Amino acid sequence: MDKYDVFTDGGCSGNPGPGGWAYVVLKNGSLISSASGGNPDTTNNIMELTAVIRAIEDCNTMGVKELSIHTDSQYVKNGITQWIFSWKRNGWRTASKSPVKNKELWMQLDELNSGSKVTWIWVKGHAGIEYNEMCDSLVRSEMDKLR
């Protein structure tokens, strides 16, 4: 069975400010797809969520339904593997009863995540992990285009 690994990253210059997102898809260790984009006025968290959403959409287009997503965002990993269950149970409210930020993106990610078998893996950012660094470089390039 083929093994698909996806690395994602998102970032912002200022928060909010110009931001970028990126992902790379590996099949059995070989790079098969990548994409990046930007937004002139966004936040780090929106860019992190956009990266994983776009990556899963790309994988779906390729017919990939089982994948491992490597993200350096605790917000994304914890949000989709832990917090989202109580958010949904509480009507998209946090433990402090405030509305969940980026609800529409979380709902989109939740739907994509439930339609695939995703293993979520947190990786340390800026630690020399090849494909995380590649994503970071793509994100920075997108931000540079917007400055």
Reported as a single tens digit per residue, the pLDDT across 35-46 is: 999 999 999 999
Of the listed 29, 91, 126, 128, which one is catalytic? 126
Q: Looking at residue 61, what is its pLDDT?
A: 96
Q: Looking at residue 136, what is its pLDDT?
A: 97
Give the strands of the sheet with 66-71, arranged side by side. 30-42, 17-27, 4-12, 66-71, 117-122
What residues contact residue 91 under an 8 Å CB cut-off, 6+ apart?
A: none
**Annotation says 126 is catalytic:** yes
pLDDT tens sequence across 97-144: 999 999 999 999 999 999 999 999 999 988 999 999 999 999 999 999
**Annotation says 136 is catalytic:** yes
Please calculate the CA angle 96-98-99 and round it to the nearest 5 degrees: 140
Short-list 91, 101, 7, CA closest to 46: 101
Of the listed 5, 9, 19, 79, which one is catalytic? 9
**Annotation says 5 is catalytic:** no
**Annotation says 125 is catalytic:** no
Q: Looking at residue 41, what is its pLDDT?
A: 96
What DSSP character marks residue 128?
-
pLDDT tens sequence across 53-85: 999 999 999 999 899 999 999 999 999 999 999
Q: Looking at residue 35, what is its pLDDT?
A: 98
User: At which residue do the structure tokens 């470089």 appear?
Assistant: 137
pTM: 0.97
Long-range contacts from 109-112, C-beta under 8 angstroms, 24+ separation: 109/49, 109/52, 109/53, 109/56, 109/76, 109/80, 110/80, 110/84, 112/53, 112/56, 112/57, 112/60
Q: Looking at residue 126, what is its pLDDT?
A: 87
Q: Looking at residue 108, what is its pLDDT?
A: 98
Of the listed 38, 48, 70, 79, which one is catalytic? 48
139 by DSSP, 3-state: which?
helix
- Domains, in order of start, for the chain: 4-146 (3.30.420.10)
